[in-house]
Structure 1
């Protein structure tokens, strides 16, 4: 009886040693997590960035030079089509219009006289008028010479010379017309003379129209309704035919412009849908469609320019596009509506470079070679190797071997 405690202790020790291997073997069997292979829609997408651009944007550049006398606009002002934008002062153009009017009036009067019989009192009156015209012409010539000297010395602006020259030329034209009228009155008109005078009337009318067109170019109107985006001059500035006065754009022409790398440049086409996010509207996604694909790649960046427009439902919302807004775009280049997909974590690349997944059957993991396709949002399309319903290992597959025993968590049907 003295030795019983010792014998009992030895027996318990041997019993414990006999159970140790089974516990250790259980701990060596790896615990894995699985998910079923399923069919789902998957798309090959392109994520890129772009910006909002107003396609209809123009610089307002004058065709005449002179002092800006009208320009009340500021950046952000809305304008209507044909609304007056800028007025430029050119006194010489006003004088030319008046001179052209006078020339036309004289030509018409002369034609009327040619068609009427000459009377003695008309001849006398014509001679007196010529004397007045000669005196006016001499005065205007002297005034032109004086003005030329003052302009050369800098005492007067160049416009003064233009105006004096126009007045002088007008007086010369009137004098020449008066002399011709007197000759016709004295000699009597011929059919040819009447025809020539009719042509001169037409010429004078055309010249008047031309001077009016030149004068109208001093007033610049809005080519379309839009918004003033840049202002380059203020009243009092000198307008130049090489410098813009204003920049205007039409906000309704806004598009989202972005660039697609050469590798995907042939996968985009008009009508293709995409999702857009704007930093100005955080957390919101908007639907859009490609509206235009440029016909060639940019040589420097090797990209293709693409323009997209928001869907009609988005345009009717409170969304307001402002040129220059930053945009983040996600474009589906290829969509497979019924693809065989697995979680991307299920795919393992072996040391030899093979792409495999592990499927679980009967508490064992079996290695299968697969051919991956499109990858999107943590899921990957498999072109071959598995079928829907197969259980693939998504966690614990890093060191698995073909045919190795595995354990599943209780929630997935295993017994830990």
Structure 2
């Protein structure tokens, strides 16, 4: 009886050892798995089968083992001049222009303003701003990594006189066509964006403004001939 009891205890001990070994094997197996914190698309894998990886040390940026993209929250990250940062806050209206979709403008809104200023050598100090698409369907055809421009709406004017921004010369001047010749005229600008600049004074509706100001030989007094007049370029909006 004693021998049987001892054999039974030994068998139980072997079972316990085997169970412990199974748990160790499970723990080792778990260490071979990388679980993503969210569902997404694997963009890049930086590693080989059987290679050991370790977490990044605190405060030290390292190349991720797996670069995972979450397409459900695409946004545009853009630097802005530090002088414009105080007027920008989450929720403010913005417009997004993506190079892959020329001629299209997408409605957006600021979702985050970085709480610090970047000091880039030989460049102006900037603040990073993140802008998301206002309509989720606009982001569906986008690919992560597309280049884009962002225009943040800080002010809006309705029914004002405006000129194309590309026509504005240094010192707030424009070239007008008067009596078949180029005339240089100063004006007082208001708000502006990449497309248009508001005219507060100095110009009138109906005047012909020269837009291609970078043409060789273009200067005040030069004779011009309008072949296909497109109408006045200074007009109410």
Residues 284 and 393 of structure 1: is their aligned pair in 2 closer, same or farther, counting only changes over 3 Å? closer
Q: What residue is the counterpart of 2:145 in the other structure?
A: 324
> Secondary structure of 2:79's partner?
strand
Is 1:225 the counterpart of 2:39? The answer is yes
The aligned runs of 1:378-389 (5 Å cut-off) are 379-382=197-200
Superposed CA offset, 1:231-268 (max 9, x none) = 2345xx32212385432221112111111111211121
Superposed CA offset, 1:185-222 (max 9, x none) = xxxxxxxxxxxxxxxx9xx9999767644433333344
Residues 281 and 215 of structure 1: is their aligned pair in 2 closer, same or farther, counting only changes over 3 Å? same
Q: What residue is the counterpart of 1:98 in the other structure?
A: none
Structure 2: unaligned runs, 5 residues or longer: 56-63, 166-170, 174-185, 210-219, 222-237
- Tell me how many residue pairs correspond in the alignment: 179
Q: What residue is the counterpart of 2:224 in the other structure?
A: none
Compute the TM-score of the two structures, normalised by the length of structure 1.
0.35
**8 Å CA contact retained: 1:239, 1:245:** no
Compute the TM-score of the two structures, normalised by the length of structure 2.
0.56
Is 1:274 the counterpart of 2:94? The answer is yes
Q: What residue is the counterpart of 1:305 in the other structure?
A: 128
| Higher Rg of the two aligned structures | 1
Q: What residue is the counterpart of 1:264 in the other structure?
A: 84
Could you say which structure has the higher helix fraction? Answer: 1
Corresponding residue to 1:286 among 106, 109, 124: 106
Structure 1: unaligned runs, 5 residues or longer: 1-120, 134-170, 176-200, 346-352, 356-368, 400-416
The aligned runs of 1:231-242 (5 Å cut-off) are 231-234=45-48, 237-242=49-54
> Secondary structure of 2:145's partner?
coil
Residues 227 and 128 of structure 1: is their aligned pair in 2 closer, same or farther, counting only changes over 3 Å? closer
Separation (CA, whole Å) in 1 of partners of 2:33 and 2:164 = 67
